[in-house]
A and B are shown apart, each in its own frame.
Chain A
């Protein structure tokens, strides 16, 4: 399979039952897909399980994709549905941030030991703030910081116009920034 093939061609091949094409297609979109599922779940505990369910759904339903050129939007919709199904299956679960786990994960990213505490604390505060965001703001915030998608691609994945996505991102950042800085958020309107 030629890596330069576009996703639309890969989606068509996957619809014809090409396992390799489907795997490549999912690989290419894995980063943001993982971020999206995490943003809807607001939790990492079941992230791999839900991603597996998403993959199963994609494998069994790829033939229902009507517009192969809109594979990303379709994949995002499938992922959201699977997360909602997952929510229905599980009942009560505490989604508090596990600070110790964040510190452990951050070890891989933090190079200077003097910055460990400060960075870990700041990242923990940011994640706390992200988890309190309304869904639509949390999604766009996480997608923007997975660093894999352009604005146009984020708008496609979220299935909203570009300007709507930009306004959501601005407001999500403002809410997180205010919470991290301990400021009262007076400008977070819900209107777009």
Chain B
């Protein structure tokens, strides 16, 4: 076997596979006449080729036909393109949701500044003194916040708050944040005239 080089083995392979040219065939025939190992290899490769073709054919054949697989693949590719559109729509929906969330967040951030808190709060440590033409029930009056010593409570963010007067009447006062005094609504008992 050692006397058979790659070149000769290629020629034998070509002969077995029917790929040999007339010139190569002449060279090979001359070699086969004088080289018994080459002749033996030719027989072995012929046999191997025959069995190999059967083995490969048996292994590879069967299963679905080319047309069946192609049709399935065609349907799958159509479905895939539709799914890609859906996925794109999903991305689009995500982007829209994100934008909506951003807008909502910004709105929540700015609305308290623009509109102010609508929740009345009791402000401890402060007394408001009525100072106006009339403090009759239902009649708006002006009030002024008066500090009674001690640290000022955190009322910076409060636009509206309620306080109870010395006689039990309740007042809703607007605009203490920036020292601004506005009218207040009286929600207590009517004071006897």
Residues on B with C-beta less than 8 A from A147 are: 53, 57
Cβ of A132 within 8 Å of any chain B Cβ, yes or no, is no
Residue-wise, chain B 59-97 has the 8 Å CB interface mask toward A (1 for contact) of 111111011011011101100110000000000000000
Residue-wise, chain A 20-56 has the 8 Å CB interface mask toward B (1 for contact) of 0011001100100011001000001001100111111
Chain A, interface SS category: helix
A115 vs B81: C-alpha distance in the bound complex, in angstroms? 52
| Residue of chain A at shortest CB distance from B13 | A170
A23 vs B54: C-alpha distance in the bound complex, in angstroms? 27
Assess whether B60 is in contact with A34, with CB atoms less than 8 Å apart.
Answer: yes
Chain A interface size, under 10 / 10 to 19 / 20 to 34 / 35 or more? 35 or more
A7 vs B69: C-alpha distance in the bound complex, in angstroms? 20
Assess whether A127 is in contact with B69, with CB atoms less than 8 Å apart.
Answer: no
Given A55-B73, A126-B48, A176-B48, A170 contacting B6 (CB threshold 8 A)? yes
Number of chain B residues close to chain A: CB under 8 A? 36
Within the complex, which residue of B58, B61, B76 is in contact with A123, where a contact is CB–CB below 8 Å? B58
Residues on B with C-beta less than 8 A from A23 are: 67, 70
Within the complex, which residue of B48, B51, B54, B74 is in contact with A59, where a contact is CB–CB below 8 Å? B74
Assess whether A151 is in contact with B72, with CB atoms less than 8 Å apart.
Answer: no
Residues on A with C-beta less than 8 A from B63 are: 44, 47-48
| Residue of chain A at shortest CB distance from B77 | A59
Q: Which residues of A contact B (CB under 8 A)?
A: 19, 22-23, 26-27, 30, 34-35, 38, 44, 47-48, 51-56, 58-60, 102, 105-106, 108-110, 119, 122-124, 126-127, 130, 141-142, 144-147, 150-151, 166-167, 169-170, 173-174, 176-177, 180
